[in-house]
């Protein structure tokens, strides 16, 4: 995996004006008052919200246990997301800096452009007894300007974060909402915990969102696949995040099996997230989003003829209009229907390609254009007695979700690694 990432990073960061004089420590200090630093600050905030504990719980915990089934079941999941080169930040290369040895040549004491790297690690647990259950989910997000040495840059994310991340995620409730940031670097911990019911007529989930000191709630109507989820918190801006739509609607539920095999499943939803600029938060000792919102609409058609997937999305606000049309193909059994037993899910792979169109955004210091997107993902599923275990790895370049969240990113490389078990 490290070799693959090294090759991809070499291609996507060829334009970087790195100044490397033996640096093997952290990134360079950013220059204040620049658009690059402003973009980095916005990216760090967005990273914390995008890979929040609630988002992970909905995608990796509820999906496997809150399905309206009978019996008892438990679920554990872990995931790491890393994105390289989200923004380009002007930095100072200074001999007196802690980032350089004393013998760094004088001619290298100048201004350089350094990419910003982001990381997110998540862990979640859940159990169900009959139609009632409980859940816990936590996230750890971190970002900084990149280390010039490419192999060290990979290892700090792929290796170092794996060492202490799980322990911090388990202890997240003890730290509350912990946010520390300085310049173009930030570190944050977020968590939620609560209960759910997946009987008739509506599946309900509710809990306390420790990261935003707010309330998390979601509801699913299983027959129509309609859903809504929200995080609200006290204050003058109570709405933190919102998602509403349908998730993998399948006409097979109404007896149209042959039609379902041809057209697959439909997902369509509207999403709002805090976005962009930040302001000081005395309670958190760090930053929190201003009133700007990221509003976007998404349409997905999965499992067409049992092997084709389509994606379309459009970002409505704040100043970005990102549209994309993506086409993917996957191996048989890689995508299952919402109502199919989890045991029927098979390992396999999927390749998605397409183009993303981004307008010029001079206020962010970036030019628009058409960008090719490529995503390759693979998973493995195994059975050990009554336990189902699985693993996943995916690598992406110019993924539309990333470009919508980070409109100043160009040729950003991302990867996702996850492991999960159902008992």
Alpha-carbon distance of 191 to 137, in angstroms, equals 6
Which residues are 218's β-sheet partners? Answer: 205, 229
For 86-128, give the DSSP string: S-EEEEE--TTSTTS-TT--GGG-SEEEEEEEEEEEEEEEEEE
Helices (H), 16-85: 35-50, 53-56, 62-65
In whole angstroms, what is the distance from residue 211 CA to residue 177 CA?
5
Residue 175 lies in domain: 2-422
Pick the closest to residue 415 from 80, 156, 14 (CA basis). 80
pLDDT, tens digit, 9 for 90 and up, residues 112-170 = 777 888 888 999 999 988 888 999 999 888 887 776 666 666 666 666 667 777 888 88
**In whole angstroms, how far apart are CA 293 and each of 210, 272, 315?**
21, 6, 11
Q: Which portions of the chain are predicted below pLDDT 70?
A: 1-28, 49, 63-70, 93-111, 147-161, 175-183, 211-213, 235-237, 275-292, 318-323, 338-345, 359-367, 401, 404-405
The per-residue pLDDT for range 282-312, each reduced to its tens digit, is: 344 344 444 467 788 899 999 998 899 998 8
Give the tokens for residue 136.
Answer: 């816990």
Structural domain count of the chain: 1
Residue 384: exposure state from Cβ atoms within 10 A (0-12, 13-18, ≥19) = exposed
What pTM does this model have? 0.77
């Amino acid at each position: 995996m490290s070799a693959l990432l090294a090759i991809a990073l070499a291609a996507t960061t060829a334009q970087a004006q790195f100044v490397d004089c033996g640096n093997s420590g952290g990134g360079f200090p950013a220059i204040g008052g620049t658009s690059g630093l402003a973009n980095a600050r916005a990216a760090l905030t967005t990273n914390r919200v995008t890979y929040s504990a609630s988002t992970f719980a909905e995608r990796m915990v509820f999906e496997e246990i809150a399905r309206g089934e009978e019996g008892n079941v438990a679920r554990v999941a872990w995931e790491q997301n890393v994105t390289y080169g989200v923004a380009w930040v002007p930095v100072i290369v200074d001999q007196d800096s802690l980032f350089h040895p004393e013998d760094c040549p004088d001619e290298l004491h100048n201004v350089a452009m350094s990419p910003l790297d982001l990381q997110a690690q998540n862990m979640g647990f859940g159990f169900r007894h009959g139609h009632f259950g409980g859940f816990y989910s936590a996230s750890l997000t971190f970002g900084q300007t990149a280390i010039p040495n490419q192999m060290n840059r990979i290892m700090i994310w792929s290796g170092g974060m794996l060492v202490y991340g799980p322990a911090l995620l388990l202890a997240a409730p003890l730290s509350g909402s912990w946010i520390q940031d300085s310049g173009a670097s930030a570190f944050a911990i977020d968590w939620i915990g609560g209960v759910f019911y997946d009987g008739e007529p509506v599946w309900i989930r509710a809990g306390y969102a420790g990261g935003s000191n707010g309330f998390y709630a979601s509801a699913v109507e299983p027959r129509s696949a309609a859903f809504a989820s929200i995080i609200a918190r006290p204050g003058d801006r109570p709405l933190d995040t919102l998602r509403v739509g349908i998730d993998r609607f399948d006409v097979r539920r109404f007896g149209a099996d042959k039609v379902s095999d041809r057209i697959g499943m439909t997902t369509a939803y509207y999403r709002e997230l805090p976005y962009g600029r930040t302001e000081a938060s005395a309670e958190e000792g760090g930053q929190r989003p201003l009133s700007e919102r990221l509003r976007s609409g998404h349409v997905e058609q999965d499992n067409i003829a049992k092997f084709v997937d389509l994606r379309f999305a459009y970002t409505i606000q704040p100043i970005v209009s990102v549209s994309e049309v993506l086409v993917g193909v996957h191996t048989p059994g890689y995508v299952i229907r919402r109502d199919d037993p989890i045991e029927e899910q098979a390992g396999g792979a999927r390749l998605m390609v397409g183009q993303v169109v981004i307008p010029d955004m001079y206020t962010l210091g970036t030019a628009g254009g058409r960008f090719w997107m490529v995503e390759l993902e693979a998973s493995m599923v195994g059975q050990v007695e009554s336990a189902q275990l699985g693993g996943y790895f995916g690598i992406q370049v110019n993924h539309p979700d990333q470009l919508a969240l980070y409109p100043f990113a160009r040729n950003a490389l991302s990867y996702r690694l996850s492991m999960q078990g159902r008992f």
